[in-house]
């Protein structure tokens, strides 16, 4: 069976700096990338362990840090009217 090589959209080649010229494929547990514009070629080992997602303000539980109280915000009129 032939190996399917797929182009990676938006990737810039590290050697020739051309966009959308990198294609990637996996064969025998090894990932490969190459540029069709220049002679760039890279071989990467496939990682078996999934990487845990980094905790960010978007995916962390909704918690208020201890000692911080929530206070309402009052918007003031710049002309001084209440």
Q: Is residue 58 part of a domain?
A: no
Q: Is residue 15 part of a domain?
A: yes
Residue found under tokens 């997602």? 53
Q: Decide if 44 contacts 33 (C-beta within 8 A).
A: yes
Q: What is the per-residue pLDDT across 14-63, written as a single tens digit (0 to 9) for each?
A: 999 999 999 999 988 889 999 999 999 999 876 655 567 677 767 776 66
Identify each DSSP E strand in the chain by its residue range: 6-7, 22-27, 30-35, 41-45
Q: Is the pTM of this model over 0.75?
A: no
Q: Is residue 80 part of a domain?
A: no
Residue 18's domain comprises 6-45
Q: Decide if 40 contacts 13 (C-beta within 8 A).
A: yes
């Amino acid at each position: 069976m032939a190996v399917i090589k797929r182009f990676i959209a938006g990737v810039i080649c590290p050697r020739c700096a051309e966009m959308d010229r990198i294609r990637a494929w996996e064969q025998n547990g090894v990932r490969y990338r190459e540029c069709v514009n220049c002679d760039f070629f890279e071989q990467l080992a496939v990682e078996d362990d999934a990487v845990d997602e980094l905790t960010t303000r978007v995916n962390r539980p909704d918690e208020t840090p201890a000692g911080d109280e929530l206070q309402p915000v009052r918007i003031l009129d710049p002309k001084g009217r209440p």
